Amino acid sequence: MRSMLMGPKMVFTVRRWRRRCVYRDEEYDKHMPTKRTASRPAATDTYVKRFQELKTELAQIEYFSKGTVLARMVKCGKSQCDCHTKPAKRHGPYYEWTYKAQGRTVNVRLSAETAPIFQADAKQHRKLKSILNRLEKLSRQALAKLAKDAARRYDD
């Protein structure tokens, strides 16, 4: 058995693979829970209901892909062509899917038939990110409320 002083309030005793913590400060001990409680008591119904709604939305997500689909109107290489002087006469539209991969921008030319598919996939990706952000925010709020309720119970 080996003991190591880690500060004025606690001593860790190490026995093979198990650690045990002994607190010397009685003031600290009175704030520690004496009974083992459920890890997560039921949150308010509004948090649970909203969380379930968001999970249902998440389950409805279809194929997704990050990036943007653009319809580009381009100038050609002929100097006599009207596309150099008149923007309305430019050639196209040429569809292009742009996304980031390993810190680099990747551009992929798309046909007119595949552009709507990738556009829908990009929209699904934005929806996925939005749902995940809302789930995270809701989780933080629910956990903060649970922690506040737990602290209130232990103070009583």
Q: Could you report the per-residue pLDDT of 136-145, keeping only the tens digit for each?
A: 999 999 888 8
Residue 148 has a pLDDT of: 85
Pick the closest to residue 42 from 156, 137, 154, 145 (CA basis): 145
Quote the pLDDT of residue 26: 52
Residue 53 reports pLDDT greater than 80? yes
**Spatial separation of the C-alpha atoms in residues 120 and 126, rounded to whole Å:** 10
Give the pLDDT of residue 129. 95
| pLDDT for residue 44 is more than 90 | no
Peptide bond into 8 cis (omega under 30): no
- Indicate the pTM of the whole model: 0.62
pLDDT (tens digit per residue) in 58-68: 999 999 999 99
142 sits in which H/E element: helix 115-155
- The pLDDT score that the predictor gives to residue 29 is 53
- H or E element that contains 106: strand 104-110
Long-range contacts of 37-43 (CB under 8 A, 24+ apart): 37/150, 40/146, 41/146, 41/149, 41/150, 43/142, 43/145, 43/146
Residue closest to 32 by CA, chosen among 143, 151, 144, 147: 151
